[in-house]
Structure 1
Amino acid sequence: MERMKEDQDQIYYHSGADLESVKDSPFLEKLIKKGYEVLYLTQAIDENMITQLLDYEGTKFMSISKDNFKFGEKDQKEEKEKNKALKKMYKPLTKFLKKKLGDKVSKVRLSNRLSDTVCVLASDQYGYSARMEIIMRAQAFADPDSFGYMTPKSKIMELNAHHPITKEMLRLVESGEDDERAAELGHLVYDTALVASGYVMRDSDYKSYADRMYKWIGESVGVDPSAPIVEEYPEEEKADSEEEKSDGDANLKEASSSSADPASEDHSEDSSEDHDELLYRSRTRVEDEVFMATVSVF
């Protein structure tokens, strides 16, 4: 509070899993540039405590990721004046995105808290922040129905009017040359902002997000992502495969011919029996000679 700006009449705060994730949050961009003080909350209990505390020595707390965020009086008035013309200029885009994104968003508007990032998603004033949503979902035996009203699926989409991507989306919408591409870009911006703002994507949205992202990656490197998959192998690998197959067939053939010739097995067994008999007779003859020699000595 000792370092707060002269017209800062709220204690701004932001929560995250650790110090680095809080510092890197896009919600902080313009606040830091304007020299505002922000309280960093990094422990799971912090934000829950702040929502119960309400104020400190008469100064209220304000989350910088909520819908009701505003700067100090002087900066707020300045931002409002600057965005007046921009709001009218970007109305075709905000209206277009609200229609295309459907129930994903409750509002689409220009942001007064961004300087470098294209988009952020804010939560309702009385709803959970992104961090609190994660904490509540992680609770043992958590029942989604018990806190569902505090975690609405519709978010407030805020766009940076000065970002090149936002300008390109506006151009596409105004030109009407490719509504599908403008809509795809809008969905990608929304999904990326969802993750960057700290929210967890709905399970039903992961597949469409991945498909959309692969499509844009393919186009960026000149590949048609919808092209049929053709299995191709290098020629050397084919040759090795054919040689292994040939050796395998030869071994199988040899084994089959051996097992198919019972005479060879019988002949082998007969030879073994003859050898054993000759060995027995030779041993018996030697024993007899030794016996007779011993008798003659006695």
Structure 2
Amino acid sequence: MKQFKTESKKLLDLMINSIYTNKEIFLRELVSNASDAIDKLSFQSLTNPELAPGADELAIRLSFDKDARTITVSDNGIGMGEQELDQNLGTIAHSGSEQFKAENAGSQPGDIDIIGQFGVGFYSAFMVAGRVRVVSRALGASSAFVWESDGVSGYSIEPASDEDCAAVGEHGTAVTLFLRPSDEDEDTDRFLSEWGLKELVRQYSNYVRHPVQMMVTKSRQKPRPEDAPEDYKPEYEDYEELETINSMTPIWKRRASEVEQKDYDEFYQSSFHDWVAPARTIGFHAEGALSYDALLFIPAQQPFDLYSKDFEKGLALYSSNVLIQEKCADLLPDYLSFVRGVVDSPDVTLNISRETLQQNSQLRAIARRVEKKVLSELKSMRDNDRDAFERFFENFGRVLKFGIYNSFGSKSDLADLLLFWSAREGRMLTLAEYAQGMPEGQDKIYYAAGESRERMEQVPAVRAALDHGFDVLLCTQDVDEFMLQALRSWHDEGTSGDSEGDGREPRDLELQNVSSADLDLASDEEKKEAERATADHRELFEALKSSLGEKVGSVRVAAGLGDAPASLAAEGPVSLEMERVMSQGPEADRAPKAQRVLQLNAAHPVFAKLVAAQEAGDEERLDLYASLLFDQALLVEGLQVDDPIAFARNVTRLM
């Protein structure tokens, strides 16, 4: 019995129990090793073609024995002799693949892609196996050898028997794992089935460049006997057939001219468990210091769990066709969390477990390119397929808005993708389209935020803006007000350089809520009338403020309210819509309140009633009017009245 050549027991225990977080990747590592062995043979055949079989004969074989509790991974690759078994498997962290790459640096052809790097993947077998047996015959050798270990006490290397030699043929390696019994911590029985092994290959090694084959049980109908009666029922029999269970060439590495959209759709639906085809497919290849292939999909519908705490963003990350991370979150910004897809790069620097990466700068470089590609595709969809873009925005517009609110990425790029409902035109507009329709002299973008478009269209401030010739964008999602306040303004590129444009100069347009107390939409004449009413009835405003107390910060006349007797506005950073949204949250009791302003319409008959009550000294009626007007304004804004019973009693008194 030989001892491992390092501080082996401690290091091997670390390898088995600490490096890998997922035990089922043992098959990925063994299949990758087998793939490397075949690639090394292919390289050797370039100088000595007689030693290697045809490319169609090279394969990786899987088999299992449920009764013996064994799994065998074999290949007809380059194989190993006694010295190589001792060096590669007896010396932990010695990578034969890495040594091969170093020795042949600069001379490997482009189709030889060695996966191994660290020389520890083989030992992942001990996460599920109590004993591992390796039979290997090196290319051109007359005999084979057997390496065996329990992963604890050391290992042995012995000449192989005739039976073992026959198992590996003229060259190759067979690794047999003797699985530990299942227990509460690990269900190893799940690996001892056709379905279990096929699923592991599909998940982790589906795109290994060589065929992974396994004898599978199938069913077929027996021939109908010549003397079968009329009521004969077909009989079936089971049979075994060697089947290739991996796809080998990944769709993202095939030429675009060779792939139809239906092929991309099938890959997307099967890989990402969606029952409809994607809205858009984006594929690209990058070369240079960091080479990679990417295949991205914009879903046509919203995942059911997109806004749940359990949702995980990320692209599938492969290295040399081997799955590294099923969802690599670093490849996508949060505001593109809905994007699905694959990135495959042989150049990313993996950590020793091949489950994470060592250099985040590589991921950042890929992520920036992915981000630009997706944003470019969305802008193209917006400009060339508006119906499709509006469907996309209905599903994922909220995610883009959160991106602006959280200041991820470029706010201007995201703002250009936003759509809002136009109160004037009755359709969805971009900010650029809104700016194009602005009348001369308008220097702000007006919006209103609330629960429904129908209700907002009746809000006095919205109607007043429309009456004065200004369009209003109606926002109905709870994130809208927060997002627009974070955005603050939008840069209008203008059309001064466009011969077909309207001659607009570039400018920054402030975003303003029409429910803001400092809104200025009135004409000069309306402003003069409001100023006269304010000067003539100061005592009335003081009395109303005294009656309402802390409910309002002030009472004033507002110009341009149309046929509304009064309206509520807000001063300061908290708008009425923000107050409404936060009042529905888990910490509603501590949510900040808007600084409310009760605005009166001096041209409305109700204002004359207020003046008359104040001049008559009827404080009781003035209190009644003040309370009713305030509660009515609350309801119009979609806010709850403080005391519904008192409101109903006041209405009854007035009747």
TM-score range (shorter-chain normalised) is 0.5 to 0.7
- Is the 8 Å Cα contact of residues 134 and 199 (structure 1) preserved in structure 2? yes
- Larger % of strand: which? 2
Q: 1:144 & 1:82 partners in 2: Cα distance?
A: 41
Q: Corresponding residue for 2:3?
A: none
Asked whether the equivalents of residues 4 and 37 of structure 1 are also in contact (C-alpha less than 8 Å), the reply is yes
1:170 corresponds in structure 2 to: 611
Partner residue, 1:182: 622
Residue 121 of structure 1: how far off its partner (Å):
1.1
- Whether 1:59 aligns to 2:509 is yes
Give the structure with higher Rg (CA). Answer: 1
More helix by percentage: 1
1:68-107 alignment, distance < 5 Å: 68-71=518-521, 75=522, 77-107=524-554
Partner of 2:457: 23
Q: Is the 8 A contact 1:5 1:37 kept in 2?
A: no
* Matches of 1:100 and 1:49, distance apart in 2: 36
Instruction: Please say if residues 92 and 170 of structure 1, whose CA atoms lie closer than 8 Å, have aligned partners that are also in contact.
Output: no
Whole-Å separation in 1 of the counterparts to 2:647 and 2:456: 25
SS of 1:86's partner is helix
Q: Provide the C-alpha distance between the structure 2 equivalents of 1:84 and 1:113, rounded to a whole number of angstroms.
A: 12
Distance 1:90 1:28 in 2: 27
Distance 2:548 2:452 in 1: 31
Paired residue secondary structure (1:8): coil
1-structure distance, mates of 2:588, 2:543: 35
1:66 maps to a residue whose letter is: S
CA pair 165-82 structure 1, distance change in 2 beyond 3 A: closer
Name the structure 2 match of 1:198: 638
Query: Take 2:479 and 2:516, find their aligned partners in 1: how far apart are those partners?
Result: 18
**CA apart distance, 1:13:** 0.6
- What do residues 42-78 of structure 1 show as CA deviations (whole Å, max 9, x unaligned)? 222222211111111011101110122123xxx5544
Amino acid at match of 1:191: D
- In 1, the alpha carbon distance for the partners of 2:438 and 2:646 equals 44
Instruction: Give structure 2 stretches of 5+ with no counterpart.
Output: 1-434, 492-507
Does the residue aligned with 1:59 lie in a helix, a strand or coil? strand
Alignment of 1:14-53 (within 5 A): 14-53=448-487
Superposition deviation, residue 81 in structure 1:
2.4
1:240 alignment partner in structure 2: none
Which is bigger in relative contact order (C-alpha 8 A, separation at least 6)?
Answer: 1
- Percent of aligned pairs with the same amino acid: 27
Asked if residue 126 in structure 1 is aligned to residue 567 in structure 2, the reply is: no
**Does the CA contact (< 8 Å) of 1:67 and 1:123 recur in 2?**
yes
What is the rounded CA distance, in whole Å, between the counterparts of 2:538 and 2:588 in structure 1?
A: 39
Structure 2 CA distance for aligned equivalents of residues 128 and 10 of structure 1: 17
CA displacement at 1:125 relative to structure 2: 2.9
Distance in 2 between residues matched to 1:51 and 1:98, nearest whole Å: 29
**1:39, 1:78 → 2: CA distance?**
26
Say if 1:16 and 1:42, in contact at 8 Å, map to a contact too: yes
Deviations 1:133-191 (A, max 9, x none): 2222223x33532x32xx14x52010000111111110111122x22112212211111
Matched AA of 2:578: M
The TM-score normalised by the length of structure 1 is 0.64
Q: Secondary structure at the match of 1:184?
A: helix
- The answer to whether the Cα contact below 8 Å between 2:464 and 2:562 also exists between their aligned partners in 1 is yes
Name the residue aligned to 2:42.
none
* Other structure's SS at 1:96 match: helix
User: Is the 2:457–2:463 Cα contact (8 Å) retained in structure 1?
Assistant: no
**Structure 1 gaps, min length 5:** 218-298
Choose 160-169 or 78-87, whichever is displaced more: 78-87
Segments of 4+ in structure 1 off by > 6 A? Answer: none
Instruction: Give the 3 Å change call, closer, same or farther, for CA 5–125 of structure 1 in structure 2.
Output: farther
Contact 1:173–1:182 at 8 Å: present in 2 too?
Answer: yes
**What residue identity is the alignment partner of 1:162?**
A
For residue 123 of structure 1, give the secondary structure of its aligned residue in structure 2.
Answer: strand
- Letter aligned with residue 138 of structure 1: Q
Change in CA separation of 1:143 and 1:157 when aligned onto 2, cut-off 3 Å: closer
Q: How far apart, CA to CA, are the structure 1 residues paired with 2:442 and 2:630?
A: 31
What is the SS of the residue equivalent to 2:563?
Answer: coil
Match of 1:4 in 2: 438
Secondary structure of the equivalent of 1:44? coil
Letter aligned with residue 142 of structure 1: E
Q: 2:453, 2:474 within 8 Å by CA — same for their partners in 1? A: yes
Determine the C-alpha separation between the residues in 2 that align with 1:76 and 1:125. Answer: 24
- Residues 1:212 and 2:653 aligned together: no
**Partner residue, 1:294:** none
8 Å CA contact 1:28–1:113 kept in 2: the answer is: no
From the superposition, tell whether residues 36 and 182 of structure 1 become closer, same or farther in structure 2 (CA, over 3 Å): same
* Inter-partner Cα distance in structure 2 for 1:19 and 1:79: 28
- Contact 2:624–2:650 at 8 Å: present in 1 too? yes
